[in-house]
Amino acid sequence: MTNTRVSSPVQVTRTVPVTALPKTTKLQSDYAYAPQRLEAFYEHRWEGVASLERIAPAVAGRAENREAVADALARQNRLFGSSEKTFEHIELLRRPDTVAVVTGQQAGLFGGPLFTVYKALTAIELASRLRDRGTPAVPVFWVASEDHDFEEVSHTSVAARGAGVGTVRLEAGGDDADRPVGHISLSADVVRAVDELFAKLPATIHSDSLRADLASFFGVGAGFADGFARLLARLFAPFGVILLDPLRKEMKSLASPTYVKAMERTPEIAGALVRRSEALVAAGYHAQIFTSPEMVPLFVLEDGRRKAMVRREGRFVTKAGDASYSNEELLEFARNEPERLSPNVTLRPVVQDSLLPTVGYVGGPAEVAYFAQIAPVYQLLDRPMPVIVPRASATIVDRDSAKTLEKYGLTLEQLVGDREALLRAVVERSIGGSTSAIFDDTETDLSRDLDRLRAALEKSDPNLAASLDVSRQKMLYQLNKLRGRFVESAAGRDETLQRRLESAEAFLRPNGAMQERELNVFTFLVLTGYGLVEDLAAALDPECPDHQVIELGGIPGDVLLARR
């Protein structure tokens, strides 16, 4: 494993309100900037680290099975190759006054998208700030190994300078459908996937050691989720993140009492979730999770498959209709064979917080939204709800992309927004400014003349004036359509512009989405080495509600190698 550290200054140069980014929901916006509007849907208001500090004593006092949980975590983290710092934090967790800042994510191929890193760093920094303020706290990462959508996590993307976005996909086995990813073992296809990933990246002085590490984490025969956990253990080694795999039998045994309570109160849970979802919609927000009076908060695991259930006529039936259980049968599973059950999204956080003294949970926008729905489940199962913390959101701007933005007078908001508007801005500011000005003049003159004509028609025949309004819309539509064709033509003829924009978009708007949702961290690790993670930890502000723009300093010329 390489420890080579290349100097690559990383700093947040500006922030962007999340409302200026695409696909921001009203709930996400209000939670960030007007949390008082959502007080009816959350137990606590997120107000920075002080809000965690306020509830820490009460949360710590409700923790159960500290010693058993810590013992299980120690065994798991030894398997994952966690650092000595992690074991120091596990020992700290045994103390009755220690709390946990928790985050988690589906186990993803080679670490999944960048936001996985940002989630962990948010939890790491908040736990550190709590310790600095006198509250013992540890960061915990919940490896969501029970999730069964392998198609969603079996691919990842990287950007290569001048080569667009490349996606690497792991071929699924014939029996992987509906199986928890923690039960999937890696086939020989993973060797090809590792090679393909590095073939898409620039060759650097870090490439060989990073490739060797990744191949050791995601080796043939290893568990898919285990590979993910081993990679996280390496990435966050300096910070002592505690990794938790809930699928292992020892954790299932510790979760058993919560499964039993959930089974006993299933009808109440379903009803409360339906009412809360209706209240959210009535308040002008969206319901992130589909709920129904038939919903059951647990999956059943049969033949290695994770199967959703519904409650009908006093029995619990799989949605596929291939199995049926009585309440007594499922309670027996919950008490004595909890490994045969798995919590769904409405119960998983409560299971997590029955195992851990969770003072704050760090989540992405979708998670923040579903916590607004599941707060009643905490109340019904008598568990304290943590403060819900939006993860740090960021875009890393490499040196070449920064130069492109500067050259064409662009902002990150423009680059990640509407592409037609982006091209228009670039053309108007550089290669087609004079023609664009004529389009502006034409639209102004046309609108002025049509206004004069309408005023005259209004006096003589109001019906004709109304007809003119329809004609105006058609004329302006055709003018703007012609302007769009001009922009595309002008941009298409400028090869330098096309090349620079494509390269910047590969890094900053990969596959038309936000960088943090698409690119894998190895895009940047090959340029910087593992030191990037520590640099990001120092640069990111976990209490900032905005999207943070991070500039990656220049990479020394001797980092890049000729492609072998």
Q: What are the tens digits of pLDDT across the range 267-304?
A: 999 999 999 999 999 999 999 999 999 999 999 998 88
Model confidence at 435: pLDDT above 90: no
Instruction: Let me know the angle formed at the C-alpha of 552 by 546 and 554, rounded to the nearest 5 degrees.
Output: 160
Q: What pLDDT was estimated at residue 130?
A: 98
The answer to which of 108-112, 485-489, 551-555 has the lowest mean pLDDT is 485-489
Per-domain residue ranges for the chain?
Answer: 434-493
Higher per-residue confidence, 23 vs 476: 23
Q: At 21, which amino acid appears?
A: L
pLDDT band per the 50, 70, 90 thresholds, residue 556: low
Tell the burial category of 189 from Cβ atoms under 10 Å away from its Cβ (0-12, 13-18, 19+): middle
Model confidence at 564: pLDDT above 80: no
pTM, two decimal places: 0.89
Q: Give the pLDDT confidence of 446-462 residue by residue, as tens digits.
A: 889 888 988 888 888 88
Q: What pLDDT was estimated at residue 490?
A: 66
Q: What pLDDT was estimated at residue 213?
A: 98
* CA dist., res. 123 & res. 125, Å (int): 6
CB 31 within 8 A of CB 46: yes
Model confidence at 67: pLDDT above 60: yes
* CA dist., res. 70 & res. 64, Å (int): 11
Model confidence at 172: pLDDT above 90: no
Q: Is 5 helix (H, G, I), strand (E, B) or coil?
A: coil
* CA dist., res. 86 & res. 239, Å (int): 7
**What mean pLDDT is predicted for residues 21-37?**
96
Model confidence at 7: pLDDT above 50: no
The answer to which of 178-192, 205-219, 249-263, 414-428 has the lowest mean pLDDT is 414-428
First to last CA, the chain: 21
Q: Give the pLDDT confidence of 307-358 residue by residue, as tens digits.
A: 999 999 889 999 888 899 999 999 999 999 999 999 999 999 999 999 999 9
pLDDT band per the 50, 70, 90 thresholds, residue 265: very high
Q: What integer best gives the mean pLDDT of the chain?
A: 90
Q: What pLDDT was estimated at residue 1?
A: 35
- Here the tokens at position 341 are 């059950």
Q: What pLDDT was estimated at residue 495?
A: 66
Q: What pLDDT was estimated at residue 320?
A: 84
Q: What pLDDT was estimated at residue 494?
A: 62
Q: What pLDDT was estimated at residue 365?
A: 97
Q: What pLDDT was estimated at residue 329?
A: 96
Q: What pLDDT was estimated at residue 108?
A: 95
pLDDT band per the 50, 70, 90 thresholds, residue 479: confident
Instruction: Let me know the angle formed at the C-alpha of 265 by 259 and 268, rounded to the nearest 5 degrees.
Output: 135
Q: What pLDDT was estimated at residue 443?
A: 80
Q: List Cα–Cα distances, 365 to 23, 392, 429, in angstroms.
A: 10, 11, 35
* CA dist., res. 525 & res. 110, Å (int): 12
Model confidence at 171: pLDDT above 70: yes
**What mean pLDDT is predicted for residues 183-203?**
94
Q: Which residues contact 301 (CB under 8 A, 6 or more apart)?
A: 180, 307, 339, 340, 341, 342
Q: What pLDDT was estimated at residue 485?
A: 75
Q: What pLDDT was estimated at residue 433?
A: 63
**What mean pLDDT is predicted for residues 503-512?**
89
pLDDT band per the 50, 70, 90 thresholds, residue 415: confident
**What mean pLDDT is predicted for residues 151-172?**
87
Q: Give the pLDDT confidence of 354-387 residue by residue, as tens digits.
A: 999 999 999 999 999 999 999 999 999 999 999 9
